[in-house]
Amino acid sequence: MSLDSRPRPETTPAPAGDRAPVTYVVRREDDFPFDSVEYADLHRRAGSPPFQHGAWLSELYDVLAPRRRARKVVVTVRDAHDGRLVLVLPLVGLRRGMLRVLEYANLGVSDYAVPVVDPRDVADLLGDQALVRQIRESLGPFDLLQIAHVPDVPDTFLALLAGARASRHSYSAHTVDLAATVELWRSSLDPSFARHLERKFKRLRPRGEHRLRLVDDPSELESLMRRMQRFRAARFAERGGTDLVQDPDCFAFYVAAIRRSLTAGLGRLAAFEVAGEPAAVVFDLVDESTELFVLVGYDFERLRNASLGLLVVTELAGAAIVRNLRHFDLTVGDEAYKADFGARPRPLYEVRVCRTPLGSAGAVSRDTYLAARRVAKRVVSSRRDRRARRQSA
State residue 26's pLDDT score.
97
**Which fold is adopted by the domain 179-325?**
Aminopeptidase (3.40.630)
pLDDT band at 9 (very low <50, low <70, confident <90, very high): very low
- Least confident window among 1-10, 92-101, 141-150, 179-188: 1-10
Concatenate the DSSP letters of all residues of 245-262 into one string: GGSHHHHHHHHHHHHHHH
For residues 273 and 278, give the distance between their C-alpha atoms in angstroms, rounded to a whole number: 4
pLDDT band at 147 (very low <50, low <70, confident <90, very high): very high
CATH code for the domain defined by 3-9+20-170+347-366: 3.40.630.30
Which residues lie across from 146 on neighbouring strands? 103, 352
Share of the chain above pLDDT 70, in %: 87
Using CA atoms, how far residue 380 sits from 171, 332, 377, 385, in Å, is 18, 20, 5, 9
How many Cα neighbours within 13 Å face the side chain of 317? 27
For residues 265 and 147, give the distance between their C-alpha atoms in angstroms, rounded to a whole number: 27
Domain ranges of the chain: 3-9+20-170+347-366, 179-325
pLDDT at 11 over 70: no
Domain 3-9+20-170+347-366 and domain 179-325, same fold? Reply is: yes
For residues 85 and 72, give the distance between their C-alpha atoms in angstroms, rounded to a whole number: 19
State residue 2's pLDDT score.
38
pLDDT tens digits for range 251-306: 999 999 999 999 999 999 999 999 999 999 999 999 999 999 999 999 988 888 88
pLDDT tens digits for range 207-247: 999 999 999 888 999 999 999 999 999 888 777 678 999 99
State residue 366's pLDDT score.
77
| Whether 325 contacts 291, CB under 8 Å | yes
